[in-house]
Structure 1
């Protein structure tokens, strides 16, 4: 039977939650100081219609003090006009270069206002893992760092052999299944690899926060369509409501829709170039200072990093000093990338 465990790490400048499934990270969610509290799933409020794009069956609305939110228009909705007030709930937070998406609840009156804020990470963890309080402390930090490392991976091994590559594009998420060195009859091996791919991919997509159109490039030929679609449906059952599957094409591709509910964690961890973001590097640097500080309670700490990380670290400096004391220095190395960090004690 599958076992899920929850971990909650409250660090300087960040709060991070991890869910593991049978010891492997399945979910990784984070809030950073300075996040827009209105840009999160579950926020509900009265928003003003700013612009209507009937050609695209959508409108842009805004909560007071918030960014523009995309509101899809459905045939069963009343006809909206610009300036009107509507009650909405955010279903998917914004992604890089894409607005948050809301659902229409009803027409509203009064003034634009927030009616309900998003659940906290602690509340989300308790929703996903109904087994008491999440684990905190050092064990939680270790779970967070393990989850971050796996979220940054592209290729994931399958039980019994073979692997999948999970690669997001602007249009879809591609999952390529590879047979690898899986032994046995080739047709049976291909079937087993495809079956395992759905289970592994479902966990990885939740971990990365990826959703939308997902296309599996299955291995082998002559697929047992009903058996494979049943396996896919079972693997993604926890992501319902909203999961939809198409038939396996003659080219061996299975398309499915997975509802978007969280911001992809890679939007936080990576910058536009695909490298570690400066903010993520600064948070790693803070963790490293704390770790060395615990190992050497009275020692002086020296850190080194690149200029972008040092600039992001400036906002975290005071919080670190309050926690471990003003016993650390930071040197900037001009040509270091964001993922190169060093901390030592003396």
Structure 2
């Protein structure tokens, strides 16, 4: 049996790809139907230079669709003018209020427009786990829900290593706190080394699962650590794209990761940190789809939800077929849904 599992959850409104290695989720790719195709990683467009910012040595590019303009870093040798058409590729998806980061391919012609969409979720999975056929249906939906729960969590426990890990994102950086509870009868020094090593592995996995990047500060276990050994562990855990910084005398490791995909919390949550209405609509559609797959005998299943959720999810649920329906419950609390026969 392979130690890599791949899942493809194709629910109306959203497609998710999940990769698990050794029983732990490592990648969660989410493509929502309402997201601008021109903003997806790898999408190629003709854009128009709307403004050049000499202070940032960059240009803001109108891609011709909704949402913020693209950000195009410029090298010293590139000379562009406002109004000029360029062909660009998305190198990093939008996050927060920032538009996609672009890579210049060359001169463009005509009006701003999408030339080719980026890779589909299935194609991304093929790159992350070559040769492995994705599981679909019930297994994929369950993996999707479990991976989402872990991606949106901030504190994670690993009892086998007596390890607690907090991974949190601020406006400035990602903060990782590795906590180790020494177990009686074990060597303290080796326990700390093991906790730091496993903590870095799990921190790298969780940051990737969440879709985060940028500056990362890791509070290690203990202050008397071997900087060389810690740097080696970090390179092994985070991979070749990471820039590993020094370890301070306070046991703090700094590193940097390049942005690529839109963070999962940006996709699923609103400004208050709660699931957005769009996310709730897809979620209740996904849960109703799961119930339909598990219960093939009932002639009809419906999901009880609030009026706001029903309005957002009506068209999505209709795509599940004649066995699926919504029922509006005025007393239902947003986020509390129930599937029932009907």
TM-score where L is the length of structure 2: 0.91
Contact 2:12 2:317 in 1 (8 A): no
Q: Aligned residues, how many?
A: 338
Q: SS at the partner of 2:292?
A: helix
> 1:71 deviation in Å?
0.9
Q: Equivalent residue for 1:340? A: 336
Distance 2:56 2:275 in 1: 35
Relative distance call for 1:182 and 1:164 in structure 2 (3 A) is: farther
Contact 2:62 2:70 in 1 (8 A): yes
Contact 2:305 2:326 in 1 (8 A): no
**1:297-312 superposed matches below 5 A:** 297-312=297-312
Matched, 1:49 2:46: no
Q: SS at the partner of 1:56?
A: coil
Q: Equivalent residue for 1:99? A: 99
Distance 1:300 1:110 in 2: 51
Distance 1:97 1:340 in 2: 29
Distance 1:111 1:303 in 2: 45
Distance 1:96 1:11 in 2: 25
Q: Equivalent residue for 1:178? A: 179
1:84-123 Cα distance to aligned partner (Å, 9 max, x none):
2223211111112121111223344555444432000000
Distance 1:201 1:344 in 2: 39
Contact 1:39 1:94 in 2 (8 A): yes
> 1:296 deviation in Å?
5.3
Q: Equivalent residue for 2:146? A: 146
Q: Which stretch shifts more, 64-73 or 54-63?
A: 64-73
Relative distance call for 1:58 and 1:176 in structure 2 (3 A) is: same
Q: SS at the partner of 1:255?
A: strand
> 1:10 deviation in Å?
1.3
**1:109-128 superposed matches below 5 A:** 109=109, 111-128=111-128
Contact 2:152 2:264 in 1 (8 A): no
Structure 1 runs (4+) greater than 6 angstroms displaced: none
Relative distance call for 1:110 and 1:247 in structure 2 (3 A) is: same
Relative distance call for 1:290 and 1:111 in structure 2 (3 A) is: closer
Distance 1:290 1:6 in 2: 20
Distance 2:3 2:317 in 1: 38
Q: Equivalent residue for 2:248? A: 249
TM-score where L is the length of structure 1: 0.90
**1:59-78 superposed matches below 5 A:** 59-65=59-65, 67=67, 68-75=69-76, 77-78=77-78
Distance 2:276 2:66 in 1: 24
Contact 1:290 1:324 in 2 (8 A): no
Matched, 1:289 2:272: no
Distance 1:318 1:267 in 2: 27
Q: Which stretch shifts more, 305-314 or 81-90?
A: 305-314
Q: SS at the partner of 2:253?
A: strand
> 1:212 deviation in Å?
1.1
**1:1-346 superposed matches below 5 A:** 3-65=3-65, 67=67, 68-75=69-76, 77-109=77-109, 111-158=111-158, 159-183=160-184, 184-237=186-239, 240=240, 242-294=241-293, 295=295, 297-320=297-320, 323-325=321-323, 328-333=325-330, 336-337=333-334, 339-346=335-342
> 1:66 deviation in Å?
5.3
Structure 1 unpaired stretches of 5+: none
Structure 2 unpaired stretches of 5+: none
Contact 1:162 1:181 in 2 (8 A): no
